[in-house]
Amino acid sequence: MTLKAKIVEGIEQVNPVQLHLIYELIVSLLNSKRVNNISPAPDAHLKVRTALKSIRGSLSKDIIQSRGDRF
């Protein structure tokens, strides 16, 4: 028996409340699959570098300094 057949057989045995939960799970899985297919632009890091190029100083030192205030 295939997995799909086992799932269909199991669905036929659940009550309406459980069936609704299964439906919500399926919708959730399909939505998360769509979100996971979104990938960043391949040149996104180049855009960030360009945007930060004109800033003087060290960004990493500024971040460490601002975090140090919280510790």
C-alpha distances (whole Å) from 15 to each of 11, 12, 26 are 9, 8, 17
Residue 70 token pair? 């919280």
Residue 40 token pair? 């960043």
Res 71 pLDDT > 60: no
| Of 26, 30, 32, residue with least CA distance to 8 | 26
Are the CB atoms for 28 and 35 separated by under 8 Å? no
Res 21 pLDDT > 80: yes
What's the pTM? 0.43
pLDDT at 25: 92
Listed by start position, the domains of the chain span 3-36
Average pLDDT value over all residues in the chain: 84
